[in-house]
Amino acid sequence: MKKFASAAGLTLFALAAAYALPATVSAPFARIAQPEAPIRVLFVGDIMLDRNVARTIVAEGAGALFSTSTRALFAGADVRVGNLEGTITGNASIAQRDHTILRFTFDPAAAAAVLGLLRFDALSLANNHALDFYANGYAQTLRRVEESGVRPFGHPLNTPGTLSATVVSKGKTLCFVGYHALFTADIVPVVFEIQTLRPGCWRVIVFAHWGEEYKTRSSAAQQEAARAFVDAGADLVVGAHPHVVQEHEVYKNKAIFYSLGNFMFDQNFSWGTTHGLAVRADFYTEKTDFILTPLSVIQQHASVATSTVAEFSLP
């Protein structure tokens, strides 16, 4: 039998044998808790693709509307939501012939290119332009938005049965509810929708179209409606329509953003109408983190306005 060359060698062999485990036994390892991955939802304001925006698309292509920084902002989210301020139909544009006539329709191919480029998941139709081409135009818009793989929600008349849509992300159900205050300010259908949806939704978000144009502060009517939505069970309220950014507040530990301003528009006549806000809500089980990113949309070109962002967290 072969002998070990030294006592030291024998000692090492003995130690190795003593600590060896049978081949069929696995050594136990402590589980390392992984940090929870949030569901990141990005919200932007009014999107209008007619008039000078349509002309820019024809001249430069849909991709030219959005800078690399804007695309990166969208790419970093799991779910992307905005307000579609107009219709998608086969009708000829009226607003391009006469910019004083505020009836908007978007070329279907151009609209599909924009929605696909930014990978929108849900769009609110609860606004004062969704009926610009009447009931048929609204129906066409619903169909074309859905054909683009986007979930439409909301109705300009707050008609029950059309108010909400769901998006599933990472196995969690997010429910989006639209509200439009300009044709009828009745919040009862929306409150009922929130209460009905609440048991089946991980988060409920209301996207509201309300307030006075170009006013940088919310009205008492906006505040009353927003708080009623939270009382009914909404986890977040986001607003649009004033075309400028309005303040946000926290009510019962829920955030309310009264207006995000413009995301894509051709209102190049003031600082307020060319500077909007993107809100990213990172939904965790026990908290929500918010990141607010200033945007600019100047001469129909959208970009992140500054690297400075505001952040806050709510339980």
Per domain, the residue ranges of the chain are 39-314
Straight-line distance from the first to the last Cα atom of the chain, in angstroms, rounded to the nearest whole number: 72
pLDDT at residue 147 above 80?
A: yes
Tell me: pLDDT of 276 over 60. yes
Q: What is the pLDDT of residues 175-199, one digit of tens each?
A: 999 999 999 999 999 999 999 999 9
Determine the Cα–Cα distance for residues 233 and 127; give it in Å rounded to an integer: 22
pLDDT-based confidence at residue 145 (cuts at 50, 70, 90) = very high
Measured distance CA(123)–CA(106) in Å, rounded: 15
For residue 247, pLDDT over 80 is answered with yes
Mean pLDDT, the chain, whole residue set: 91
Answer yes or no: are the C-beta atoms of 140 and 87 closer than 8 Å: yes
pLDDT of amino acid 40: 98
Residue type, 142: L
Where is pLDDT greater, at 241 or 310? Answer: 241
pLDDT at 306 exceeding the cut of 50 = yes
C-alpha angle 257/260/262, rounded to 5°? 170
Task: Find, among 209, 68, 47, the residue nearest to 114 by Cα.
Answer: 47
Q: What is the pLDDT of residue 81?
A: 98
Q: Residue 207 — left, alpha, or beta (φ > 0 → left; ψ -120 to 50 → alpha)?
A: beta
pLDDT given at position 49: 98
| pLDDT tens digits for range 208-217 | 999 999 999 9
> Which of 257-261, 264-268, 307-311 shows the lowest per-residue confidence on average (mean pLDDT)?
307-311
Q: Which residue, 113, 82, 110, 107, is CA-closest to 95?
A: 107
How far apart, in whole angstroms, are the C-alpha atoms of residue 45 and residue 264?
8
What is residue 80's predicted lDDT score, i.e. its pLDDT?
98
pLDDT band, very low/low/confident/very high, at 31 (cuts 50, 70, 90): low
Query: Is the pLDDT at 1 greater than 50, yes or no?
Result: no
Q: If phi over 0 gives left and psi between -120 and 50 gives alpha, with beta otherwise, what is residue 243? A: left
Residue 30: the pLDDT is: 53
Strands 248-251 and 254-257: antiparallel
The whole-model pTM stands at 0.88
For residue 132, the number of C-alpha atoms closer than 13 Å in the C-beta half-sphere is 27
The pLDDT tens digits for 44-102 are: 999 999 999 999 999 999 999 999 999 999 999 999 999 999 999 999 999 999 988 99
Q: What is the pLDDT of residue 19?
A: 30
What band does 309 get if pLDDT is binned at 50, 70 and 90?
confident
Residue 133: pLDDT band (50, 70, 90) is: very high
Q: Does pLDDT of 26 surpass 80?
A: no
The topology under which CATH files domain 39-314 is Purple Acid Phosphatase; chain A, domain 2 (3.60.21)
Banded pLDDT at 130 (limits 50, 70, 90): very high
Does the pLDDT value for residue 174 go beyond 90? yes
Query: Residue 147: left if φ>0, alpha if ψ -120 to 50, beta else—which one?
Result: alpha
pLDDT given for residue 20 in this prediction: 38
Give the DSSP H/E element, type plus range, for residue 29: none
* Rg of the chain over all Cα atoms, to the nearest angstrom: 26
